[in-house]
Amino acid sequence: MAESYTLKLRRYDPESGDPAYWSQYDVSLDPERSVLQGVLNARDDEDGSIAIRCSCRAAICGSCAVRINGKTALACNTQMGDAQAKAGEGNPIVIEPMSNMPVIKDLIVDMDAVHWKKIQRVVPWLLPEGDPPDREYIVPAEAMIDVTQTMACIQCGACVSACLALEVDPDFVGPAASAKAYRFVGDPRDGQHEERLKDLAEDPHGIYDCTHCFACVEVCPKDVAPMDQIMRLRRKATGDHGIKDKNNGYGHEHAFVNIIERYGTLHEPQLLPRSFGDGSLIKGQTEPSAVKQLIENFPTVVRAVTAGKVPLKPHTILHPKLPDQDKVKTIFKTIEAKDERLEINMYIIGESAEDEAEGKPETGGEA
Amino acid sequence: MKLAYWPGCVSRGFTPELHGSMELVAPKLDLELVELDRANCCGAGVIAEHNQELADTLNARTFAMAQSVDGAAGMMNICSTCQGAQSECQTRLDASSDYRQTVNSHLSDENLAYEKTAEFWNKNFLWLLVEEIGLEKLSSKIVRPLEGLRIAPFYGCYIVRPTERLGYAEYPNRDKYLDILIEVLGAQPVEYAGSHKCCGFPVITMNRTTSLRQAGRHLADAIDAGADCLVTPCPLCHLNLDMQQPEAAKYVERDLNVPVLHLPQLVGLALGLEPKELGMNRHVVKTKEVQRKVTQLAAA
């Protein structure tokens, strides 16, 4: 049954010279109908000047991503009833253009200026080594399953809009392009894995600029989980290729892991020098680049000590090990000694896999 | 209520006032905390980035220890990051019995095993306050309503996203709990852009500019919205928002100087504990003005 809704649209036309403004429209449609339909009704019935981009209306083409009540989503994939519930009873449903990209008009943003530029930056095509085989490439099925998740991307830009690192650093390569990079780094036919990883690890706005905030994971309509792909890129960069980047990505990971392997819990005073020294405490206090960074952090340390936040006591300086640290260490040794890392991909097995498969879901090994 | 208690690393390291205040607040709320003092770091997402099986095993070890605490209603943590990292591992462990078996085989040396049961839960103090203790009970214990204090909530990414993994299907209001709680404690929640955004801490050693611009921007937004202080359930957010605040100020090119409280400190104030015993004199950004307002309340 049709219900009444109020849509509050952010309107802006850069060519007009006027600032952005809000317009409200009352629409009547079934709660199961999409927010996109609501906007189109408002355009058709009330104001023909409303601009929104759309095509398939079935969450396939990726054209209609907008912010609905502050959260980026495909307008065609969001029901009016749900949008109203999020907005709260009696409140209008707020619809804005995506963030982190310039507005062309109203709800249409310039994808070329940001999203596509970043996709191009990661060389989004296969770079095979040597001549192509006489017939087709033969690859193990598991390897292709591994990249399936990134192939599900419909280039809607929702993750780019939600990215909190991009908000403060527009140069960040961003979630969509990173996921695209994994699409090729995870593909056994590609011959440039190390070059790709090195490129993204050494770039100050590359994979180590991701702040691990899950915003992209939350909004992706296709469960691509771009942040998870960034973590896999990091894992391959450090674990498989041993790339020691100048952004301390390798250093931070190794510092953290080494400290936990040694003590069981985190010892913060070691984290900085070890991070600056590729994981090594000595290197982190002697190499010129590391020393420079330590000096940069010195005022913060002094403030913390002066405030009494970090007491200068033996247990602060000499971190105690856990009572059963030898057991924890054994866990590290056993797992790290494996030839292949065991990785379970929720995208492939699904969260309710166990119930469906009666305890026999597949687990996948990561090459 | 008896609880297996995982304080985390940072709450006993660089923010000792957090663990300290939780220990004082617990008896006031009839919580009996059994500290998991043999448990290991949650990995904070970094160990999972390095090796998933390793991170899952380390957290399975902690869960197994929590499950063996006799009579415990569940497990509690006081760190958004622990919550997120542990929930992530638990989701994978719960998804496959084969995988669980592999992970548990690493723990057999210590006679530990994580069991998937409907009864076992792991909740941040924030969730526990609302869902297990209940706001009514909390209200009945308040001796000093924090009237007049304007408080900006800062949730921390790890307990707000991804909603699918963090129990939002069952508890859809988890992203509003801090706001609700601030009101229950008698104070006024401040609405501002940064409440659910990232503090920047995870990249402080990898991209200082991104990290401190994030922290600085949210602090500035909270100040502009009229906040007397911020409150956070995450000690890592606290490090970037409090300890790094003078540095963050340089990156956003303006004065900041707004105190940041830990959640148990704020609850403790309302329950009648004194700022000093809650470690409020051990912050980098001085909490004097908040203390003055709170002490005035006591006198009124």
Q: With an 8 Å Cβ cutoff, is B115 touching chain A?
A: no
CA distance to partner chain B, nearest, from residue A116 (Å)? 22
| Mutation site for B-interface testing, chosen from A211, A270, A317 by largest number of B Cβ within 10 Å | A211
CA distance to partner chain A, nearest, from residue B66 (Å)? 16
Q: With an 8 Å Cβ cutoff, is A56 touching chain B?
A: no
Closest Cβ–Cβ partner in B94, B162, B244 for A214: B162
d(CA B266, CA B220): 21
CA distance to partner chain B, nearest, from residue A359 (Å)? 5
Instruction: Give me the interface pTM, i.e. the ipTM.
Output: 0.96
* Whole-number pLDDT of residue A354: 64
* Whole-number pLDDT of residue A350: 75
* Whole-number pLDDT of residue A364: 46
HEC secondary structure over chain A = CCEEEEEEEEECCHHHCCCCEEEEEEEEECCCCEHHHHHHHHHHHCCCCCCCCCCCCCCCCCCCEEEECCEEEEHHHCEHHHHHHHHCCCCCEEEECCCCCCEEECCEECCHHHHHHHHHHCCCCCCECCCCCCCCCCCCHHHHHHHHHHHCCCCCCHHHHHCHHHHHCCCCCCHHHHHHHHHHHCCCCECCHHHHHHHHHHCCCCHHHCCCCCHHHHHCCCCCCHHHHHHHHHHHHHHHCCCCCCCCHHHHHHHHHHHHHHHCCCCHHHHHHHHHCCCCCCHHHHCHHHHHHHHHHHHHHHHHHHCCCCCCCHHHHCCCCCCCHHHHHHHHHHHHCCCCEEECCHHHHCCCHHHHHCCCCCCEEEC
What's the pTM value of the predicted model, to 2 decimals? 0.95
Q: What is the pLDDT along chain B (300 residues), one digit of tens a residue?
A: 999 999 999 999 999 999 999 999 999 999 999 999 999 999 999 999 999 999 999 999 999 999 999 999 999 999 999 999 999 999 999 999 999 999 999 999 999 999 999 999 999 999 999 999 999 999 999 999 999 999 999 999 999 999 999 999 999 999 999 999 999 999 999 999 999 999 999 999 999 999 999 999 999 999 999 999 999 999 999 999 999 999 999 999 999 999 999 999 999 999 999 999 999 999 999 999 999 999 887 655
* Whole-number pLDDT of residue A144: 87
Question: What are the backbone dihedrals phi and psi of residue A79, each rounded to the nearest 5 degrees, phi first?
Answer: -85, 145
Q: What is the pLDDT along chain A (367 residues), one digit of tens a residue?
A: 899 999 999 999 999 999 999 999 999 999 999 999 999 999 999 999 999 999 999 999 999 999 999 999 999 999 999 999 999 999 999 999 999 999 999 999 999 999 999 999 999 999 998 888 899 988 888 888 889 999 999 999 999 999 999 999 999 999 999 999 999 999 999 999 999 999 999 999 999 999 999 999 999 999 999 999 999 999 999 999 999 999 999 999 999 999 999 999 999 999 999 999 999 999 999 999 999 999 999 999 999 999 988 777 777 778 999 999 999 999 999 999 999 999 988 888 876 556 555 444 444 444 4
Quick check: helix, strand or coil at residue B294?
helix
| A265/B41 CB distance under 8 A | yes
Query: Which chain B positions have a beta carbon within 8 Å of A359's beta carbon?
Result: 96-98
| B206/A247 CB distance under 8 A | yes
